[in-house]
Amino acid sequence: MKELFNYISYKNSEILTKNYSTSFSLGILFIEKSIRKHIYAIYGLVRLADEIVDTFTDINQKEWLDKLKEDTYKAIQNGFSTNMILNSFQLTARKYNINKELIEPFFESMYMDLQKIEYNEKNYNKYIYGSAEVVGLMCLKIFVNGDDILYQNLKSYAQALGSAFQKVNFLRDIKNDVEILNRSYFPNIDLQNLTEEDKIKIVNEIESDFDKALPGIRMLPDNSRIGVTIAYEYYKTLLNKIKKSPSKNILKMRIRINNFLKILILLKVLIKQKLQLN
């Protein structure tokens, strides 16, 4: 019954992903079915850590994060966990050689969220790398399926895309980060009094990341190119909406993309891909 347990483990990660992120799930639906569950597994681990550091503020967060980290490594070492989210992650990590080199920086960034940090350029870049870029690299491991040459060729592009996604999330979550979590990630910027000049400076930085990432997306294998392109177009659209919104509005509400626009983005990508294939 091991196969059944593992199947249900992956299903748990899928359910978690679809309930927490409809937009992310939309992109995954256009990734090749045979590897889809592995992306859900990565998101599952990331979400568990996020919930510890962002949501459950009435517990000993460091203790629980310590436990999650320890249980993650134990699961990979033993090839099993009774935590079904971790069980699905260890299956994926063992299959695609997702090791401590990528996992450790992720947890380091999660620990940074438990501290009151005045971000400068150095620790800002460290946080972005651990919280977002390595997640992109984990996904890339799956996409290239053991082709280390292709992995090395696409590595910097995956990091740039992960960085762009994370920074867009920072911008749209400013209200929650500042008012509830008491966090401010962008160096030398007072988010409580965000100016138009500061907003444009951040937007320009993110647009640069998107520009760096795009050539790599075009080089992705067929198993993932359309799904990643959909995510890219979604976040680019979200950034453009933030760019057009007055900074005072960003401080008051979370900028969103409505379902109709999501469908338009999806159709745009699919039509473009179809025309390129013909």
Task: Write down the pLDDT at residue 231.
Answer: 93
Task: Write down the pLDDT at residue 55.
Answer: 93
Residues 6+ apart with CB under 8 A from 135: 42, 46, 106, 162
Task: Write down the pLDDT at residue 253.
Answer: 82
Task: Write down the pLDDT at residue 145.
Answer: 96
The total number of structural domains that make up the chain: 1
Residue range(s) defining the domain that contains residue 264: 2-277
262 and 234 Cβ atoms separated by less than 8 Å: yes
Over the chain (278 residues), the average pLDDT of each successive run of 10 is: 96 95 82 96 97 94 98 98 98 98 98 93 96 98 97 98 95 84 88 89 96 97 95 94 90 85 88 70
Report the predicted TM-score, pTM, of the whole model to 2 decimal places.
Answer: 0.94
Cα(23)–Cα(210) distance, integer angstroms: 18
Cα(69)–Cα(178) distance, integer angstroms: 27
Q: Can you give the CATH number for the domain in which 52 is found? A: 1.10.600.10
Cα(198)–Cα(207) distance, integer angstroms: 14
Query: Nearest 5°: CA angle at 218, between 105 and 127?
Result: 20
Task: Write down the pLDDT at residue 277.
Answer: 57
Which two tokens mark 249? 């509005």
Task: Write down the pLDDT at residue 266.
Answer: 87
Of 235, 251, 221, 81, nearest to 164 by C-alpha is 235
Q: Is the dihedral of CA 59, 61, 8, 266 positive or negative?
A: positive
